[in-house]
Amino acid sequence: MIRLSNVNKIYRIKDPGISEMRDFYAIRDVSLDIEEGSIYGIIGRSGAGKSTLIRCVNMLEPPTSGQVFINDTEMTSLPPDALRDARRKIGMIFQSFNLLSNRTVYGNIAFPLELVKWKKTEIRDRVHEIASLVGIEGKLDQYPAQISGGQKQRVGIARALANKPDLLLSDEATSALDPQTTKSVLRLIRDINEKLGLTVILITHEMNVIKEICDSVAVLEDGKIVEHGPVLQIFTNPLKKATKELLSHVIQSELPESFAGLEFRQFPSRNSELVLQIWLFGSIAANPIVSDLVRKFDVDVNILVAHIDNIRSVPFGTLIMQLAGEDKEGALGYLLDMKLRVEVIGYVERPAGITH
């Protein structure tokens, strides 16, 4: 179990406005519990403090106040020697890979083992073992400049895993990779998490990464955690604006352009139609909701936006639909009764160009 408790990271910076020094909170009062064996994602836009936060975990950026516990070790109180020993059991991978350019792939993976003074023959066996786990056994004699980005990150992962860490930190590990390679590297991290039971903390600015592999997620904004919870919950019921914005890149839920400029009213009028958005997940996504509406309430349902996806094989999705007909209120009540998350966008006069 990894626990961050009331972590603050404060920098003294010069305020250009008043040309005086002031405190800047890169991290403000962050507390997190991360379960052993889980993949925990921390997401935020650039400048939100993600990099600083993940560096507080292994003390590359010691927190100004607060505590960091890894299992029962309080990282924040360790003397330098003990901190170095603790770091040897925490692997870290980076956006820019940070491999030693003048060492071969073999030499890079061997590096952490040299630090812990393993014997040459033990190092050789371990490097081969770990290289085959990450699928780069054919590249051991190459230098980092000679291999692709995806392979470099595999080397980074192998290096991070070489000394059998208890925790893997991933600092935007896939942000420099193309979508295809990103997928394969994420799958590798997932596999390792499952095979070795390794706890992973990753930071990213991409909800897709969270969706692909994380169990839980925390949303960081201006150094504060604004929302956290299981990934499915955050995806299907985001509460904060920052979360919704980040989600808007993976869940398309913008109204079609023909709605631009139309007035949405809070209450129905004679000719108005109801536009609403529902979120579905789990078993409910399999229910024939739309045909139920049509049958039971005699409404016309026009689906404006639909997005269905899977989070770790749980289906979830969102629908934006426009309801016309007599019993729109009844239909709305029915949806609310189904314990769906429903958001009424408003009543609108039927826009030109959309016919039923």
Give the binding site for another protein (CB under 8 A): 58, 60, 84-88, 90, 92, 94, 96, 98-103, 111-112, 114-116, 143-146, 159, 163, 169
Contact between residue 46 and residue 52 where contact means Cβ atoms under 8 Å apart: no
Smallest distance, Å, CB 117 to another protein?
11
Smallest distance, Å, CB 12 to another protein?
15
- 35: nearest Cα among 242, 191, 225, 201: 201
Nearer to another protein, 99 or 189 (CB): 99
Smallest distance, Å, CB 48 to another protein?
20
Smallest distance, Å, CB 60 to another protein?
6
Q: In sequence order, what E strands does the chain have?
A: 2-15, 20-34, 39-43, 65-70, 73-74, 90-94, 167-171, 199-204, 216-221, 224-230, 272-281, 299-311, 314-325, 341-349
Contact between residue 188 and residue 156 where contact means Cβ atoms under 8 Å apart: no
Would you list the DSSP string of 301-332?
Answer: EEEEEEEEEEETTEEEEEEEEEEEES-HHHHH
What type of residue is 324? A
Nearer to another protein, 34 or 207 (CB): 34
Nearer to another protein, 44 or 112 (CB): 112
What's the CA gap between 356 and 349, in Å, rounded?
Answer: 13
- 3-class SS string, 164-209: CCCEEEEECCCCCCCHHHHHHHHHHHHHHHHHHCCEEEEEECCHHH
Smallest distance, Å, CB 40 to another protein?
18
Residue with the two structure tokens 């150094």: 223
Beta bridge partners of 10: 25
Smallest distance, Å, CB 170 to another protein?
12
Smallest distance, Å, CB 166 to another protein?
13
Burial (CB count within 10 angstroms: exposed 0-12, middle 13-18, buried 19+), residue 130: buried
